[in-house]
Structure 1
Protein backbone atom coordinates (compact mmCIF):
# COMPACT_ATOMS: atom_id res chain seq x y z
CA UNK A 1 0.00 0.00 0.00
CA UNK A 2 1.27 3.44 -0.90
CA UNK A 3 1.38 5.99 1.90
CA UNK A 4 0.20 9.47 1.01
CA UNK A 5 2.09 12.14 2.94
CA UNK A 6 -0.04 15.28 2.80
CA UNK A 7 2.55 18.01 3.20
CA UNK A 8 1.43 21.56 3.93
CA UNK A 9 3.36 24.68 4.85
CA UNK A 10 2.32 24.82 8.48
CA UNK A 11 0.71 27.71 10.34
CA UNK A 12 0.33 29.12 13.83
CA UNK A 13 -3.31 30.05 13.09
CA UNK A 14 -5.79 27.59 14.68
CA UNK A 15 -8.32 28.20 11.90
CA UNK A 16 -5.65 27.40 9.32
CA UNK A 17 -4.70 24.19 11.09
CA UNK A 18 -8.35 23.15 11.25
CA UNK A 19 -8.80 23.86 7.54
CA UNK A 20 -5.79 21.73 6.59
CA UNK A 21 -7.04 18.93 8.84
CA UNK A 22 -10.36 19.01 6.96
CA UNK A 23 -8.49 18.78 3.66
CA UNK A 24 -6.60 15.71 4.89
CA UNK A 25 -9.80 14.08 6.12
CA UNK A 26 -11.58 14.69 2.82
CA UNK A 27 -8.56 13.41 0.94
CA UNK A 28 -8.55 10.20 2.97
CA UNK A 29 -12.17 9.66 1.92
CA UNK A 30 -11.25 10.36 -1.73
CA UNK A 31 -8.47 7.73 -1.80
CA UNK A 32 -9.89 4.82 0.26
CA UNK A 33 -7.44 2.15 1.29
CA UNK A 34 -4.56 4.63 1.44
CA UNK A 35 -2.92 5.78 4.64
CA UNK A 36 -2.85 9.58 4.71
CA UNK A 37 -0.22 11.08 7.00
CA UNK A 38 0.41 14.71 7.85
CA UNK A 39 3.72 16.56 7.41
CA UNK A 40 4.96 20.13 7.19
CA UNK A 41 7.79 22.16 5.70
CA UNK A 42 7.70 24.94 8.31
CA UNK A 43 6.18 26.05 11.63
CA UNK A 44 4.50 22.75 12.58
CA UNK A 45 5.61 19.20 13.26
CA UNK A 46 6.10 16.48 12.09
CA UNK A 47 8.66 17.64 9.56
CA UNK A 48 8.31 16.10 6.11
CA UNK A 49 11.73 14.42 5.87
CA UNK A 50 11.17 12.42 9.04
CA UNK A 51 7.68 11.31 8.01
CA UNK A 52 8.92 10.18 4.60
CA UNK A 53 11.87 8.28 6.08
CA UNK A 54 9.63 6.38 8.50
CA UNK A 55 6.96 5.60 5.91
CA UNK A 56 9.47 4.61 3.20
CA UNK A 57 10.78 1.85 5.46
CA UNK A 58 7.42 0.10 5.01
CA UNK A 59 6.53 0.70 1.38
CA UNK A 60 6.03 3.24 -1.40
CA UNK A 61 5.43 6.85 -0.43
CA UNK A 62 3.95 9.76 -2.36
CA UNK A 63 4.44 13.21 -0.89
CA UNK A 64 1.51 15.35 -1.97
CA UNK A 65 2.23 19.09 -1.59
CA UNK A 66 -0.83 20.83 -0.19
CA UNK A 67 0.50 23.91 -1.93
CA UNK A 68 -1.00 25.81 -4.83
CA UNK A 69 2.23 26.48 -6.74
CA UNK A 70 5.74 25.19 -7.10
CA UNK A 71 8.48 27.06 -5.24
CA UNK A 72 11.20 26.66 -2.63
CA UNK A 73 9.21 24.23 -0.49
CA UNK A 74 8.55 21.86 -3.41
CA UNK A 75 11.89 22.16 -5.18
CA UNK A 76 14.06 22.09 -2.04
CA UNK A 77 12.28 20.87 1.12
CA UNK A 78 10.06 18.19 -0.39
CA UNK A 79 12.61 17.20 -3.03
CA UNK A 80 15.22 16.70 -0.32
CA UNK A 81 12.80 14.61 1.74
CA UNK A 82 12.16 12.09 -1.05
CA UNK A 83 15.64 12.03 -2.63
CA UNK A 84 17.25 9.45 -0.26
CA UNK A 85 14.40 6.95 -0.75
CA UNK A 86 13.98 5.06 -4.06
CA UNK A 87 10.44 4.16 -3.06
CA UNK A 88 9.38 7.77 -2.47
CA UNK A 89 8.29 10.43 -4.93
CA UNK A 90 6.75 13.87 -4.87
CA UNK A 91 3.48 14.59 -6.62
CA UNK A 92 2.87 17.86 -8.42
CA UNK A 93 1.54 20.78 -6.35
CA UNK A 94 -2.18 21.40 -6.58
CA UNK A 95 -1.98 24.30 -9.01
CA UNK A 96 -2.25 25.29 -11.67
CA UNK A 97 -5.24 23.14 -12.57
CA UNK A 98 -8.42 23.95 -14.43
CA UNK A 99 -10.56 22.32 -11.75
CA UNK A 100 -9.37 24.91 -9.25
CA UNK A 101 -11.19 27.56 -11.27
CA UNK A 102 -14.43 26.01 -10.04
CA UNK A 103 -13.37 26.51 -6.43
CA UNK A 104 -12.32 30.10 -7.11
CA UNK A 105 -15.60 30.88 -8.85
CA UNK A 106 -17.65 29.30 -6.06
CA UNK A 107 -15.79 31.29 -3.42
CA UNK A 108 -16.29 34.49 -5.42
CA UNK A 109 -19.98 33.75 -5.80
CA UNK A 110 -20.34 33.14 -2.07
CA UNK A 111 -18.87 36.52 -1.13
CA UNK A 112 -20.86 38.53 -3.68
CA UNK A 113 -24.27 36.96 -3.96
CA UNK A 114 -23.22 35.36 -7.21
CA UNK A 115 -22.22 38.37 -9.31
CA UNK A 116 -18.50 38.85 -8.55
CA UNK A 117 -16.67 39.47 -11.80
CA UNK A 118 -19.95 39.85 -13.68
CA UNK A 119 -21.11 43.34 -12.69
CA UNK A 120 -20.06 46.20 -15.00
CA UNK A 121 -16.98 47.87 -13.55
CA UNK A 122 -15.78 44.79 -11.69
CA UNK A 123 -12.11 43.90 -11.55
CA UNK A 124 -10.84 40.66 -9.99
CA UNK A 125 -7.39 40.38 -8.43
CA UNK A 126 -6.16 36.81 -8.10
CA UNK A 127 -4.38 37.12 -4.76
CA UNK A 128 -1.62 34.53 -4.33
CA UNK A 129 0.98 33.92 -1.64
CA UNK A 130 3.90 34.50 -4.00
CA UNK A 131 7.42 33.14 -4.32
CA UNK A 132 10.80 34.25 -5.60
CA UNK A 133 10.80 31.18 -7.89
CA UNK A 134 9.87 32.31 -11.43
CA UNK A 135 8.08 29.00 -11.99
CA UNK A 136 5.68 29.88 -9.18
CA UNK A 137 4.77 33.16 -10.85
CA UNK A 138 4.18 31.35 -14.13
CA UNK A 139 1.89 28.90 -12.31
CA UNK A 140 -0.16 31.74 -10.83
CA UNK A 141 -0.33 33.48 -14.19
CA UNK A 142 -1.70 30.27 -15.68
CA UNK A 143 -4.42 30.24 -13.01
CA UNK A 144 -5.16 33.86 -13.81
CA UNK A 145 -5.64 32.93 -17.46
CA UNK A 146 -7.94 30.06 -16.53
CA UNK A 147 -10.02 32.27 -14.23
CA UNK A 148 -10.15 35.07 -16.81
CA UNK A 149 -11.59 32.63 -19.33
CA UNK A 150 -14.61 32.20 -17.02
CA UNK A 151 -15.26 35.84 -16.13
CA UNK A 152 -16.18 38.88 -18.21
CA UNK A 153 -14.28 41.19 -15.83
CA UNK A 154 -10.55 41.92 -16.08
CA UNK A 155 -8.43 39.58 -13.94
CA UNK A 156 -4.96 40.53 -12.74
CA UNK A 157 -2.56 39.07 -10.19
CA UNK A 158 -1.24 40.30 -6.86
CA UNK A 159 1.26 38.57 -4.55
CA UNK A 160 1.71 38.45 -0.80
CA UNK A 161 5.49 38.09 -1.05
CA UNK A 162 8.33 37.17 -3.36
CA UNK A 163 7.42 39.09 -6.50
CA UNK A 164 5.51 42.06 -7.82
CA UNK A 165 2.93 43.45 -7.86
CA UNK A 166 1.90 43.18 -4.25
CA UNK A 167 -1.77 42.56 -3.59
CA UNK A 168 -2.39 46.16 -2.39
CA UNK A 169 -0.62 47.49 -5.48
CA UNK A 170 -2.73 45.26 -7.74
CA UNK A 171 -5.89 46.50 -6.02
CA UNK A 172 -4.76 50.13 -6.36
CA UNK A 173 -3.88 49.63 -10.03
CA UNK A 174 -7.32 48.19 -10.72
CA UNK A 175 -8.96 51.25 -9.17
CA UNK A 176 -6.65 53.60 -11.08
CA UNK A 177 -7.71 51.83 -14.28
CA UNK A 178 -11.34 52.66 -13.55
CA UNK A 179 -12.69 49.68 -11.64
CA UNK A 180 -15.87 50.43 -9.70
CA UNK A 181 -15.55 47.31 -7.55
CA UNK A 182 -12.35 45.38 -6.88
CA UNK A 183 -12.73 41.77 -5.72
CA UNK A 184 -9.79 39.84 -4.32
CA UNK A 185 -10.01 36.15 -5.19
CA UNK A 186 -8.03 34.46 -2.42
CA UNK A 187 -5.76 31.94 -4.07
CA UNK A 188 -4.68 30.46 -0.76
CA UNK A 189 -5.69 27.18 0.83
CA UNK A 190 -6.40 28.14 4.41
CA UNK A 191 -6.67 31.00 6.89
CA UNK A 192 -3.29 32.28 8.01
CA UNK A 193 -0.66 34.89 7.29
CA UNK A 194 -1.28 35.19 3.56
CA UNK A 195 -5.05 35.07 3.89
CA UNK A 196 -4.74 38.00 6.31
CA UNK A 197 -2.64 39.91 3.77
CA UNK A 198 -5.41 39.45 1.22
CA UNK A 199 -8.02 40.68 3.71
CA UNK A 200 -6.00 43.84 4.43
CA UNK A 201 -5.16 44.69 0.81
CA UNK A 202 -8.03 47.14 0.36
CA UNK A 203 -10.33 45.25 -2.00
CA UNK A 204 -14.07 45.87 -1.81
CA UNK A 205 -14.78 42.15 -1.48
CA UNK A 206 -12.49 39.29 -0.49
CA UNK A 207 -13.35 35.66 -1.12
CA UNK A 208 -12.61 32.92 1.38
CA UNK A 209 -9.62 30.58 1.06
CA UNK A 210 -10.19 27.51 -1.09
CA UNK A 211 -10.08 25.11 1.86
CA UNK A 212 -11.67 21.71 1.40
CA UNK A 213 -13.77 22.70 -1.61
CA UNK A 214 -14.62 19.51 -3.55
CA UNK A 215 -12.57 20.69 -6.53
CA UNK A 216 -9.49 21.04 -4.33
CA UNK A 217 -9.94 17.50 -3.04
CA UNK A 218 -10.48 16.17 -6.58
CA UNK A 219 -7.25 17.80 -7.75
CA UNK A 220 -5.33 16.50 -4.74
CA UNK A 221 -6.56 12.94 -5.31
CA UNK A 222 -5.69 13.20 -9.01
CA UNK A 223 -2.16 14.42 -8.24
CA UNK A 224 -1.67 11.45 -5.91
CA UNK A 225 -2.98 8.94 -8.44
CA UNK A 226 -0.72 10.37 -11.14
CA UNK A 227 2.36 9.86 -8.97
CA UNK A 228 1.49 6.44 -7.55
CA UNK A 229 1.69 3.91 -10.44
CA UNK A 230 5.41 4.20 -11.17
CA UNK A 231 6.28 3.78 -7.49
CA UNK A 232 4.09 0.73 -7.06
CA UNK A 233 5.51 -0.85 -10.22
CA UNK A 234 9.03 -0.26 -8.92
CA UNK A 235 8.13 -1.87 -5.60
CA UNK A 236 6.87 -5.01 -7.38
CA UNK A 237 10.10 -5.29 -9.37
Structure 2
Protein backbone atom coordinates (compact mmCIF):
# COMPACT_ATOMS: atom_id res chain seq x y z
CA UNK A 1 0.00 0.00 0.00
CA UNK A 2 1.38 3.37 -1.01
CA UNK A 3 1.52 6.13 1.53
CA UNK A 4 -0.78 9.07 0.87
CA UNK A 5 0.55 12.60 0.64
CA UNK A 6 -2.17 15.19 1.21
CA UNK A 7 -1.32 18.66 -0.07
CA UNK A 8 -3.61 21.01 1.82
CA UNK A 9 -4.17 24.59 0.65
CA UNK A 10 -6.52 27.30 1.80
CA UNK A 11 -8.19 27.23 -1.61
CA UNK A 12 -8.35 29.72 -4.47
CA UNK A 13 -11.32 31.63 -5.84
CA UNK A 14 -9.86 32.60 -9.21
CA UNK A 15 -9.43 30.20 -12.12
CA UNK A 16 -5.78 31.22 -12.39
CA UNK A 17 -5.19 30.50 -8.72
CA UNK A 18 -6.89 27.12 -8.93
CA UNK A 19 -4.87 26.27 -12.00
CA UNK A 20 -1.65 27.19 -10.20
CA UNK A 21 -2.50 24.93 -7.26
CA UNK A 22 -3.48 22.07 -9.57
CA UNK A 23 -0.23 22.50 -11.45
CA UNK A 24 1.77 22.16 -8.24
CA UNK A 25 -0.13 19.05 -7.15
CA UNK A 26 0.36 17.44 -10.55
CA UNK A 27 4.07 18.28 -10.56
CA UNK A 28 4.53 16.73 -7.11
CA UNK A 29 2.58 13.67 -8.26
CA UNK A 30 4.92 13.21 -11.22
CA UNK A 31 7.99 13.41 -8.99
CA UNK A 32 6.66 11.22 -6.16
CA UNK A 33 5.87 7.91 -7.82
CA UNK A 34 6.13 6.18 -4.44
CA UNK A 35 3.31 8.28 -2.96
CA UNK A 36 -0.39 8.69 -3.65
CA UNK A 37 -0.60 12.48 -3.96
CA UNK A 38 -4.00 14.11 -3.43
CA UNK A 39 -5.13 17.66 -2.83
CA UNK A 40 -7.37 19.02 -0.08
CA UNK A 41 -8.62 22.42 0.97
CA UNK A 42 -9.72 24.33 4.02
CA UNK A 43 -11.99 26.85 2.33
CA UNK A 44 -13.39 27.88 -1.07
CA UNK A 45 -12.54 24.61 -2.85
CA UNK A 46 -13.37 20.96 -2.27
CA UNK A 47 -12.71 18.33 -1.03
CA UNK A 48 -12.02 19.44 2.51
CA UNK A 49 -9.02 18.06 4.34
CA UNK A 50 -11.34 16.23 6.76
CA UNK A 51 -13.12 14.57 3.82
CA UNK A 52 -9.83 13.44 2.29
CA UNK A 53 -8.64 12.00 5.60
CA UNK A 54 -11.95 10.16 5.95
CA UNK A 55 -11.81 8.75 2.42
CA UNK A 56 -8.21 7.50 2.58
CA UNK A 57 -6.45 4.93 4.72
CA UNK A 58 -3.00 3.85 5.79
CA UNK A 59 -0.10 6.19 6.52
CA UNK A 60 -0.92 9.75 5.47
CA UNK A 61 1.05 12.96 5.76
CA UNK A 62 -0.52 16.38 5.36
CA UNK A 63 1.73 19.10 3.94
CA UNK A 64 0.19 22.54 4.60
CA UNK A 65 0.74 24.70 1.52
CA UNK A 66 1.14 27.77 3.72
CA UNK A 67 3.80 30.48 3.56
CA UNK A 68 3.16 31.65 7.12
CA UNK A 69 1.21 30.45 10.12
CA UNK A 70 -2.54 30.74 9.58
CA UNK A 71 -4.53 29.91 12.70
CA UNK A 72 -7.88 28.98 11.06
CA UNK A 73 -6.14 26.79 8.49
CA UNK A 74 -3.92 25.23 11.13
CA UNK A 75 -6.87 24.41 13.38
CA UNK A 76 -8.74 22.70 10.54
CA UNK A 77 -5.68 20.68 9.54
CA UNK A 78 -4.92 19.56 13.08
CA UNK A 79 -8.56 18.64 13.71
CA UNK A 80 -8.58 16.56 10.53
CA UNK A 81 -5.37 14.82 11.57
CA UNK A 82 -7.01 13.84 14.87
CA UNK A 83 -9.51 11.70 12.97
CA UNK A 84 -6.94 8.93 12.52
CA UNK A 85 -3.68 8.25 14.39
CA UNK A 86 -2.10 7.21 11.07
CA UNK A 87 -2.23 10.85 9.92
CA UNK A 88 0.65 13.22 10.58
CA UNK A 89 1.23 16.88 9.75
CA UNK A 90 4.51 18.20 8.37
CA UNK A 91 5.90 21.72 8.70
CA UNK A 92 4.34 24.23 6.27
CA UNK A 93 6.19 25.44 3.19
CA UNK A 94 7.28 28.75 4.59
CA UNK A 95 9.15 30.66 5.55
CA UNK A 96 12.12 29.00 3.86
CA UNK A 97 15.31 29.87 2.00
CA UNK A 98 13.91 28.23 -1.13
CA UNK A 99 11.00 30.67 -1.18
CA UNK A 100 13.40 33.57 -0.66
CA UNK A 101 15.46 32.43 -3.65
CA UNK A 102 12.35 32.27 -5.81
CA UNK A 103 11.28 35.65 -4.46
CA UNK A 104 14.55 37.14 -5.66
CA UNK A 105 14.06 35.49 -9.03
CA UNK A 106 10.64 37.15 -9.24
CA UNK A 107 12.27 40.50 -8.41
CA UNK A 108 14.81 40.06 -11.19
CA UNK A 109 12.10 38.99 -13.64
CA UNK A 110 10.12 42.12 -12.76
CA UNK A 111 13.12 44.32 -13.51
CA UNK A 112 14.05 45.24 -9.93
CA UNK A 113 17.39 46.99 -9.54
CA UNK A 114 19.82 47.08 -6.64
CA UNK A 115 18.93 50.67 -5.71
CA UNK A 116 15.16 50.05 -5.66
CA UNK A 117 13.37 49.99 -2.33
CA UNK A 118 11.88 46.54 -1.72
CA UNK A 119 8.72 45.84 0.26
CA UNK A 120 7.65 42.29 1.02
CA UNK A 121 3.85 42.19 0.81
CA UNK A 122 1.75 39.54 2.54
CA UNK A 123 -1.89 38.83 3.25
CA UNK A 124 -3.56 39.76 6.53
CA UNK A 125 -1.63 38.44 9.53
CA UNK A 126 -3.34 38.86 12.91
CA UNK A 127 -1.62 36.11 14.89
CA UNK A 128 1.78 36.85 16.47
CA UNK A 129 3.18 33.66 14.94
CA UNK A 130 2.04 34.75 11.49
CA UNK A 131 3.64 38.17 11.98
CA UNK A 132 6.85 36.44 13.06
CA UNK A 133 6.81 34.18 10.01
CA UNK A 134 6.35 37.11 7.65
CA UNK A 135 9.17 38.96 9.37
CA UNK A 136 11.40 35.92 8.93
CA UNK A 137 10.43 35.69 5.26
CA UNK A 138 11.49 39.32 4.82
CA UNK A 139 14.84 38.66 6.52
CA UNK A 140 15.50 35.67 4.29
CA UNK A 141 14.58 37.68 1.20
CA UNK A 142 16.86 40.49 2.36
CA UNK A 143 19.76 38.08 2.83
CA UNK A 144 19.36 36.60 -0.66
CA UNK A 145 18.65 39.94 -2.35
CA UNK A 146 21.51 41.65 -0.57
CA UNK A 147 19.61 44.72 0.58
CA UNK A 148 17.04 45.98 3.02
CA UNK A 149 13.48 44.67 2.73
CA UNK A 150 10.52 46.44 4.33
CA UNK A 151 7.31 44.63 5.29
CA UNK A 152 3.67 45.48 4.64
CA UNK A 153 0.52 43.41 5.09
CA UNK A 154 -3.11 43.76 4.09
CA UNK A 155 -4.24 43.66 7.71
CA UNK A 156 -3.19 42.94 11.27
CA UNK A 157 -0.71 44.60 13.65
CA UNK A 158 2.08 44.89 11.09
CA UNK A 159 2.49 47.99 8.90
CA UNK A 160 -0.37 48.29 6.39
CA UNK A 161 0.94 47.68 2.90
CA UNK A 162 -0.13 51.08 1.56
CA UNK A 163 1.68 52.78 4.46
CA UNK A 164 4.77 50.63 3.90
CA UNK A 165 4.81 51.69 0.25
CA UNK A 166 4.52 55.36 1.27
CA UNK A 167 7.38 55.02 3.75
CA UNK A 168 9.51 53.23 1.16
CA UNK A 169 8.88 56.03 -1.32
CA UNK A 170 10.56 58.45 1.09
CA UNK A 171 13.89 56.88 0.11
CA UNK A 172 13.51 58.56 -3.27
CA UNK A 173 13.82 55.39 -5.33
CA UNK A 174 11.38 53.14 -7.14
CA UNK A 175 9.27 51.00 -4.83
CA UNK A 176 9.14 47.33 -5.78
CA UNK A 177 6.76 44.99 -3.99
CA UNK A 178 7.86 41.38 -3.56
CA UNK A 179 4.63 39.41 -3.42
CA UNK A 180 4.68 36.81 -0.64
CA UNK A 181 1.73 34.77 -1.87
CA UNK A 182 1.55 31.26 -3.25
CA UNK A 183 -1.05 31.91 -5.96
CA UNK A 184 -2.69 34.78 -7.85
CA UNK A 185 -6.21 35.89 -6.93
CA UNK A 186 -8.06 38.74 -5.26
CA UNK A 187 -5.42 39.10 -2.53
CA UNK A 188 -2.78 39.57 -5.21
CA UNK A 189 -5.03 42.14 -6.89
CA UNK A 190 -5.21 44.06 -3.59
CA UNK A 191 -1.42 43.97 -3.30
CA UNK A 192 -1.05 45.18 -6.88
CA UNK A 193 -3.34 48.12 -6.11
CA UNK A 194 -1.26 49.35 -3.14
CA UNK A 195 0.62 51.96 -5.17
CA UNK A 196 4.05 50.41 -5.77
CA UNK A 197 5.90 51.11 -9.00
CA UNK A 198 6.51 47.41 -9.65
CA UNK A 199 4.80 44.32 -8.21
CA UNK A 200 6.21 40.83 -8.65
CA UNK A 201 4.19 37.76 -9.53
CA UNK A 202 3.28 35.26 -6.78
CA UNK A 203 5.49 32.23 -6.18
CA UNK A 204 3.16 30.20 -8.40
CA UNK A 205 2.47 32.46 -11.36
CA UNK A 206 0.20 30.18 -13.38
CA UNK A 207 2.96 28.62 -15.47
CA UNK A 208 4.75 25.36 -14.70
CA UNK A 209 5.69 25.42 -11.01
CA UNK A 210 9.29 26.12 -10.15
CA UNK A 211 11.09 22.82 -9.54
CA UNK A 212 12.39 24.24 -6.27
CA UNK A 213 8.85 24.55 -4.88
CA UNK A 214 8.14 20.96 -5.91
CA UNK A 215 11.35 19.93 -4.19
CA UNK A 216 10.39 21.87 -1.06
CA UNK A 217 7.03 20.09 -0.87
CA UNK A 218 8.76 16.73 -1.18
CA UNK A 219 11.36 17.73 1.40
CA UNK A 220 8.55 18.47 3.84
CA UNK A 221 6.90 15.15 3.01
CA UNK A 222 10.12 13.25 3.59
CA UNK A 223 11.28 15.16 6.64
CA UNK A 224 12.09 13.30 9.83
CA UNK A 225 8.92 12.23 11.60
CA UNK A 226 6.63 13.04 8.68
CA UNK A 227 5.32 9.46 8.63
CA UNK A 228 5.79 8.57 12.29
CA UNK A 229 2.65 7.18 13.94
CA UNK A 230 1.11 9.39 16.57
CA UNK A 231 0.59 6.51 19.01
CA UNK A 232 -0.64 7.64 22.41
CA UNK A 233 0.03 11.31 21.73
CA UNK A 234 -3.22 13.34 21.78
CA UNK A 235 -2.62 14.31 18.18
CA UNK A 236 -0.09 15.89 15.85
CA UNK A 237 0.51 19.59 16.07
CA UNK A 238 1.18 21.74 13.07
CA UNK A 239 4.93 22.09 13.13
CA UNK A 240 6.27 25.63 13.28
CA UNK A 241 9.66 26.56 11.94
Per the normalisation by structure 1, the TM-score is 0.89
**Structure 1 residue 39: deviation in Å?**
0.8
CA RMSD across the alignment: 1.8
| 2:89–2:226 Cα contact (<8 Å) kept | no
| 1:130–1:136 Cα contact (<8 Å) kept | no
Tell me which stretches of 4 or more aligned residues in structure 1 moved more than 4 Å: none
Aligned residue for 1:34?
Answer: 35
**Structure 1 residue 233: deviation in Å?**
11
Aligned residue for 1:107?
Answer: 106
Aligned residue for 1:155?
Answer: 149
Query: 2 CA distance for matches of 1:127 and 1:40?
Result: 23
Consecutive unaligned residues in structure 1, runs of 5 or more = none
| 2:101–2:144 Cα contact (<8 Å) kept | no
Matched, 1:193 2:186: yes
Query: 1 CA distance for matches of 2:40 and 2:135?
Result: 28
| 1:3–1:61 Cα contact (<8 Å) kept | yes
Aligned residue for 1:228?
Answer: 226
Query: 2 CA distance for matches of 1:165 and 1:59?
Result: 45
Matched, 1:72 2:67: no
Distance 1:87 1:213, change over 3 A: same
| 2:88–2:227 Cα contact (<8 Å) kept | no
Query: Helix, strand or coil: the match of 1:149?
Result: helix
Consecutive unaligned residues in structure 2, runs of 5 or more = 233-241
**Structure 1 residue 167: deviation in Å?**
1.4
Map 1:205-220 to 2 at 5 A. Answer: 205-211=198-204, 212-220=209-217
Aligned residue for 1:165?
Answer: 159
| 1:130–1:163 Cα contact (<8 Å) kept | no
Structure with the largest fraction of helix: 1
Aligned residue for 1:23?
Answer: 24
How many equivalent residue pairs? 226
| 1:101–1:146 Cα contact (<8 Å) kept | yes
